[in-house]
Amino acid sequence: MASSTSAAPIGLALLGAGNIGSAVVAAVQRAGERYAARVGAPLEVRRVLVRDTSKARPGLEPSQITDRIEDVLADEGASIVIEFMGGEEPARTYIEMALNSGRHVVTANKEVMAKHGAALLQLAYDRGVRLQYEASVGGGIPVIAPLSRDLLANEVTAVTAIINGTTNYMLTAMTQQGAGYEEVLAEAQRLGYAEPDPTADVEGIDAAYKIAVLCGLAFNVDVAPTEVDRRGISTITARDIAYAAQLGYVIKLLARARLVDGEIEATVRPTLVGASEPLAKVDGVLNAVQFEGDLVGRVMFEGPGAGQGPTASSILADVLDVAQDVAQGRKPLAFIPRRKLRVRPAEEHEARAYLRIGVLDQPGVLAAIATALGDEGVSISSVLQYESEYTGGDEGTAELVLTTHGAPGRAFAAALDVIRELDVVREIGNVLPMEG
């Protein structure tokens, strides 16, 4: 649709033209007049970088397509570069090249922003341009903008999030259907919620990238993804789900970061969440991010965390925001260099815990386990015992489900080393943190 504004067009260059890139192109063409009215100038897609230039691209002319980043950067009319490539390289290099050329950049790349965000944001400020990355964390959930504006007066002390739709779908299915991990993974892959290689999702890698990005935003602290204490959901069984329900909990893969005595704790862990807590009710492929601030208290943003439409929505919001700056000649705000606080290792994290332990069904078992825990200062809160008829285990065995009061990770690790060596213990099935 033609625009009624007489201002010069603001040129866009796209790095990638997959599902989300195509959705952005279609939206710019379909809603061109509305966007122009909001920005004060029309948007124009000028160049699109792709791997295969022979492939037909709906809505694009062959003259707009290239497989060379040099062609993109040679177009002086393209003032905003939008990166859809994913992965660390060459995306990071191309973003850096675009910033160095004096162009604004919008990206949804969580890996690049988690690993290199601080350096790239500093570079953007040094070059007098903007680097926007709303879609890198919450997909369709507005997270970065509220943190940068609406919660600016608050000192954020904690972030707790469900930020991977694949694992949230799988855990929800296990909870609602009573199904096992492998069964729901196959279903998620069939429905397109999980990749053929689901490792990044189910092992918490994707969520670790996102919580690292959120640490920079919430606390202005640079946290590397490798510093996040990470564990995925592949060890969660249908029995864990059922036991959690009997205790009044649901299991969610929580990405969590908090300030503790001037240091950072950052984790991605399957966690028992109290069934009455708001995060416990975030089901299916929905995501949610919860912040705790000194003035506002606890606030939560919930919505679709991935997919073509939600991600394109976040990207276009950033594009329109930057385009308004370009149209009105506004300069970027100052970039405050990131702090580098100590990131606490897992052994220093204090939490309550859920323990599932396979044992021989005989007298003295619980006493031996309680002694091992007590010797390390871990206090038991509750105990449930399930016979082999319920668990499907061998005759003469049972499963103990214990919950504990809060204790440091090192205390749990030391106690579990002792418990693992007890003659009456067959296996330590799972150890999960608890919240709520």
Domain spans in the chain, listed from the N-terminal domain onward: 10-139+308-328, 145-304, 349-435
Count the alpha carbons within 13 Å of 77 in the hemisphere toward its beta carbon: 11
Looking at residue 251, its amino acid is I
210 labelled catalytic: yes
Q: Could you tell me how far CA 367 lies from the centroid of its own chain?
A: 41
Count the alpha carbons within 13 Å of 166 in the hemisphere toward its beta carbon: 27
Looking at residue 124, its amino acid is A
**Which residue in 60, 85, 58, 81 sits closest to 71, CA to CA?**
81
Judged on CB neighbours under 10 Å (0-12, 13-18, 19+), 332 is middle
How long a stretch of residues is the chain?
436
pLDDT tens column, 359-373: 999 999 999 999 999
pLDDT of residue 59: 86
pLDDT of residue 329: 85
Opening angle at CA 222, ends 251 and 122, nearest 5 = 135
- What is the DSSP pairing of strand 380-387 with strand 397-404? antiparallel
Taking 70 as the pLDDT cut, the residues of the chain under it are 1-6, 306
The residue from 210, 252, 331, 340 that is catalytic is 210
Distance between CA atoms of residues 194 and 191, nearest Å: 8
> Is 145-304 a domain of CATH 3.40.50.1820?
no
CATH of 349-435, one of 3.90.440.10, 3.90.1150.10, 3.40.50.720, 3.30.70.260: 3.30.70.260
Q: Are 79 and 43 in contact (CB under 8 A)?
A: no
State the alpha helices, DSSP H only, in 54-109.
Answer: 69-74, 91-100
CA-to-CA separations, 222 to 115, 212, 258, in angstroms, rounded: 9, 8, 13
pLDDT of residue 3: 47
pLDDT of residue 2: 44
pLDDT of residue 5: 57
Which CATH number is 10-139+308-328 given?
A: 3.40.50.720
- The reported pTM is 0.93
